[in-house]
């Protein structure tokens, strides 16, 4: 089969997507099935690996497939009954539930559902294709095209001492890809990494799969990070790396005060620790964000990672890394993985930065997210009063709810699945059993539902799952 007859750019990935849907629908009705690798599909369908990556990214967002580190992608059959998965891994059960037809998926944190720049990207691509014919494009740019690396370096530069150069920026297929590279490049296997908790389950699973010793630094009930625990760890344990958010920690929605940020910087400087900064949601604060943590710590012991997808949408799944050091090892790791990313799409993203369209879109998206969060807060207060407590989010697209009464949150999850609604139990955001009384609930979501009825169902599920 070949997809070269399809229209270019906005087209090939959609054909791949349809092909994969048909392939998934043909699999066994009782077991998960391993899907072809990116390279296999690229050869089979005669399209680029980046096109395959776009399609898989969409399928993963829809819960039709899930990925396992170093193993590839797997499909859950539509006919699988989540009740049959009661003993399975909770994250797998979430993917199964999200895969089923007619499910409303309220488990994610996808700001771009309120508005993406997919159309603008594709328009720019058409213009760029005419100016940069395929046969004139460099065949291999393992760390990303120079235009995009330059745009990111400029955006992250804040002063003469905190500046970035294009050759210190590395573009990968997605956040998973760049995190896997960082784990290898930093030699983290067997070492200790301190992460804030709750922490995104993708990050936790990747660290766990790589044999990293993960120590969770909890956000406390008052919204403060346990900095006394951080100092104890840095003083008494060999901690090469601390992973913290740049501005707002999600899903908790907490942010460090200026004094706390300065204290973190002092601790890392005193004990010689490196900061791995998660900037995935760094630009999605509803109001003007505080100074990011990276502008306070020693830039010589700083690595930043992020992606475009949360702001731009699924057409921009690329992840990226900024690092002043490890250049030789990072280049080697990117070469080994041989990311074949669309140079045209990268140039289109760079133009969005350069012509101001990115900032315009970002401002509009922030306003919509804030409005949506306020509306969701009113509904939560009306339907879940006395059942949950929460802090009003200041960024992102979700709420971090805590049950007032002790409940079996897995039972709540299962009861909501029976109502065709998927939530994310809090235990997914920890490797050590924390957050069992929490759940993440999106205020931007996919699927059709009556939100008032859904929240009434959630209140009932919380009541029925109470632990005596």
In tens, the pLDDT along 443-468 reads 997 666 789 999 999 999 999 999 97
The band of 84, judged by pLDDT with boundaries at 50, 70 and 90, is: very low
Q: What pLDDT is stored for residue 8 in this prediction?
A: 40
Do 341 and 421 belong to one domain?
no
Do 190 and 268 belong to one domain?
yes
Residue 215 inside a domain? The answer is yes
Residue 207 inside a domain? The answer is yes
Residue 208 inside a domain? The answer is yes
User: Which residues, in sequence order, are CB contacts of 461 under 8 Å at separation 6+?
Assistant: 411, 412, 415, 416, 419
pLDDT tens digit sequence for 271-297:
999 999 999 999 999 988 789 999 999
Do 206 and 333 belong to one domain?
yes
Q: Among 308, 325, 355, where does a domain finish?
A: 355
**Mean pLDDT value of segment 23-31:** 64
Q: Does the predicted model carry a pTM greater than 0.75? A: yes
pLDDT at 125 over 80: yes
Do 338 and 436 belong to one domain?
no
Q: Looking at 69-78, 196-205, 411-420, which range is the least confident one? A: 69-78
Do 133 and 187 belong to one domain?
yes
Q: Among 335, 355, 375, where does a domain finish?
A: 355
Number of domains in the chain: 3
From residue 42, alpha-carbon distances to 47, 51, 52, 335, 392 in Å are: 5, 8, 7, 18, 44
Q: Which two tokens stand for residue 303?
A: 């690595």
**Mean pLDDT value of segment 28-43:** 78
End-to-end CA distance of the chain: 59
**Mean pLDDT value of segment 401-416:** 95
Inter-residue contact 12 to 47 (CB < 8 Å): yes
CATH number at residue 275: 3.40.640.10
CATH number at residue 28: 1.10.10.10
Do 307 and 389 belong to one domain?
no
Task: State the angle between helix axes of 357-383 and 343-354 in degrees (0 to 180), rounded to the nearest 10.
Answer: 90
Residue 4 inside a domain? The answer is no
Residue 177 inside a domain? The answer is yes
Do 323 and 204 belong to one domain?
yes
Please report, rounded to a whole number, the percentage of residues in the chain having pLDDT higher than 70: 89
pLDDT tens digit sequence for 325-373:
888 889 888 888 766 677 888 999 999 999 999 999 999 999 999 999 9
pLDDT at 56 over 90: no
The domain containing residue 226 runs over which residues? 117-355
pLDDT tens digit sequence for 215-270:
999 999 888 999 999 999 999 999 999 999 999 999 999 999 999 999 999 999 99
CATH number at residue 431: 3.90.1150.10
d(CA 93, CA 85): 6
pLDDT at 78 over 60: no
d(CA 234, CA 246): 20
Q: What is the mean pLDDT of the chain?
A: 87
Residue 1 inside a domain? The answer is no
Do 180 and 293 belong to one domain?
yes
Residue 2 inside a domain? The answer is no
Q: What pLDDT is stored for residue 332 in this prediction?
A: 87
Do 194 and 48 belong to one domain?
no
The band of 132, judged by pLDDT with boundaries at 50, 70 and 90, is: low
Q: Looking at 58-72, 156-170, 246-260, which range is the least confident one? A: 58-72
Do 68 and 104 belong to one domain?
no
Do 285 and 205 belong to one domain?
yes
Residue 144 inside a domain? The answer is yes
Inter-residue contact 66 to 76 (CB < 8 Å): yes
Q: What pLDDT is stored for residue 62 in this prediction?
A: 66
């Amino acid at each position: 089969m070949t997809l070269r007859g399809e229209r270019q750019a906005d087209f090939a990935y959609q054909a791949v997507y349809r092909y994969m849907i048909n392939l998934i629908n043909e699999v066994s009705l009782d077991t998960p099935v391993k899907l072809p690798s990116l390279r296999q599909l690229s050869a089979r369908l005669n399209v680029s690996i980046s096109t395959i990556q776009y399609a898989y990214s969409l399928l993963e967002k829809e819960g039709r497939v899930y990925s396992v580190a170093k193993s590839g992608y797997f499909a859950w059959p539509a006919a699988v009954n989540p009740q049959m998965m009661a003993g399975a891994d909770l994250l797998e059960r979430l993917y199964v539930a999200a895969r089923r037809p007619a499910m409303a998926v309220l488990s994610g944190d996808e700001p771009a559902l309120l508005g993406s720049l997919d159309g603008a990207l594709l328009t720019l691509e058409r213009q760029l294709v005419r100016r940069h014919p395929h046969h004139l494009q460099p065949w291999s740019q393992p760390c990303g095209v120079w235009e995009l690396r330059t745009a990111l370096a400029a955006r992250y530069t804040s002063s003469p001492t905190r500046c970035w150069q294009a050759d210190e920026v590395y573009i990968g297929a997605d956040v998973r890809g760049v995190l896997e590279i960082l784990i290898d490049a930093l030699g983290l296997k067997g070492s200790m990494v301190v992460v804030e908790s709750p922490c995104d389950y993708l990050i936790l699973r990747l660290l766990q799969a790589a044999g990293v010793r993960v120590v969770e630094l909890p956000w406390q009930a008052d919204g403060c990070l346990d900095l006394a625990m951080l100092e104890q760890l840095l003083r008494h344990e060999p901690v090469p790396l601390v992973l913290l958010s740049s501005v707002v920690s999600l899903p908790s929605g907490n942010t460090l005060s200026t004094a706390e940020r300065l204290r973190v910087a002092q601790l890392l400087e005193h004990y010689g620790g490196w900061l791995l900064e998660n900037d995935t949601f760094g630009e999605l604060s509803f109001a003007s964000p505080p100074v990011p943590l990276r502008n306070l710590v020693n830039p010589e012991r700083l690595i930043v990672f992020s992606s475009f997808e949360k702001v731009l949408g699924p057409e921009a799944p690329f992840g990226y890394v900024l690092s002043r050091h490890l250049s030789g090892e990072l280049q080697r790791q990117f070469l080994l993985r041989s990311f074949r990313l669309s140079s045209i799409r990268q140039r289109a993203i760079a133009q969005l930065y350069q012509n101001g369209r990115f900032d315009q879109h970002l401002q509009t998206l922030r306003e919509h997210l804030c409005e949506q969060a306020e509306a969701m807060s009113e509904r939560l207060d009306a339907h879940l009063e006395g059942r949950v407590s929460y802090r009003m989010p200041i960024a992102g697209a979700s709420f971090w709810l805590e049950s007032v009464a002790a409940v079996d949150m897995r039972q709540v999850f299962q009861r909501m699945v029976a109502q065709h609604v998927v939530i994310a139990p809090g235990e997914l955001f920890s490797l050590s059993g924390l957050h069992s009384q929490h759940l993440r609930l999106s205020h931007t979501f996919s699927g059709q539902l009556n939100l008032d009825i859904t929240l009434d169902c959630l209140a009932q599920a919380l009541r029925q799952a109470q632990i005596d």
